[in-house]
Structure 1
Amino acid sequence: MRLLIVEDDSALRTELVRQLSVEGYAVDGASDGRDGLFMASEYDYDLAIIDLGLPEIDGLSLIAQLRANGRDAPVLVLTARDAWQDKVKGLEAGADDYLTKPFHPEELRARVQALLRRAHGAAQNRLAFGPLSIDTDAKTVALEERPIELTSYEYNTLLYLALNAGKTLSKTELTEHLYAQDYDRDSNVIEVFIGRLRKKLDPDGSLTPISTLRGLGYRFNLTPNSSREP
């Protein structure tokens, strides 16, 4: 998942990028609202974290412009303001949730995960697709209740495919959502990860969780169980 952080406090922005990168997200940062608007217009982010007190373009105006431009990725507002009126204004501008500074890293992590799940129609932290289950909190995968060991990149690739089950995703789209701006987009690393996932999840070829559509990309074929709520 690819995240955008728009925060003018350089120390906080750097720390947020570090924390979320450790969690396995691809994270880009912007220091003011103008840069944030440009980046959000150029790239297709899965979630944006936006401070309200931004220079150039304030956070409320930035969110409103993103929504007016058709950008519907979830937005988590960061605010140092305790007044409930400011939080209401953020939500009315198009934000989906907010955090009041200072906040604990665990709370940020939980809110980001919840927003990403809800954006893909998954209300719970455990996603089940037939015999395959994914725990998005623990970042673990099991097949027939047997743990499957995946690298962080393999897990991120699988999760994005699963959250978009039934959709055909191009290699370019996968790369843009899974890796940061400076990633080598000409590499064949996505193909490598897909190959590894097939070997680990479907060693005998009976499940076929991921299909390759020549010239188009990849599709996750498993149907979500009832535990994945709309």
Structure 2
Amino acid sequence: MNMQKQHEKKYPQSADFKLRDLATANFPHAKTLLDLGCGSGGNLKMFRGIGFDCIGITLSPEEKNEASKHAPVLIHNLEEGLPNNLNQRFDLVLAAHVLEHIFYPEKLLQDIKRVGTQGAIIVIPNLLFWRNRVKLLLGIFEYSNLGIMDYTHCRWYTYKSIQRILATYGFEVLQAEATGGLFQRKSSIFRVIDGFLLKTFPGIFGFQFYIVVKIYNDTD
């Protein structure tokens, strides 16, 4: 990973309400949260608003200045796993659009399991989204400023591979859901078609995946 580029790039972040809905549905008793790659703090603000005690981690001092308005924020390179002095444990860990930026995610996944007590929610882009499949078929493999082919991405995952990796490190997948679709329009008929395609062929029509996992510790 080019850490200088990663350090310089700021990701504007509004709250992702799907994360809130997944968290409250799967972990109704969770009250503490660690937000990895917290960006400018949109999700920190949202979870603080529903009663969570939160801590965020980012690589960017600029993002820290924004996110710190909502919760305590640490500056740390997640390529190294979690900070060694982070001794607190959390009911819920968020890693939304983080793993694709990490060359070797093994240490980070082990640390998430170490500090998490109930579960985690992983959000990851899908390399094999249908548009990417068409581009690859045509011999096109180009980076961009945003999206699946963001130039700061160094690892790519599919619907099956991300779940396989999580299972390897001892997480139990409770829910795996794709968002995106073929049409991605507001019309009701297109939403129905997209809903069917996402449930039936998530690995093709999913732009990104929300993976909810349960954390088992050695004492469980």
**Which bin holds the TM-score, normalised by the shorter protein?**
0.3 to 0.5
- TM-score (structure 1 length as normaliser): 0.35
The structure that has the greater radius of gyration is: 1
TM-score, L = length of structure 2: 0.36
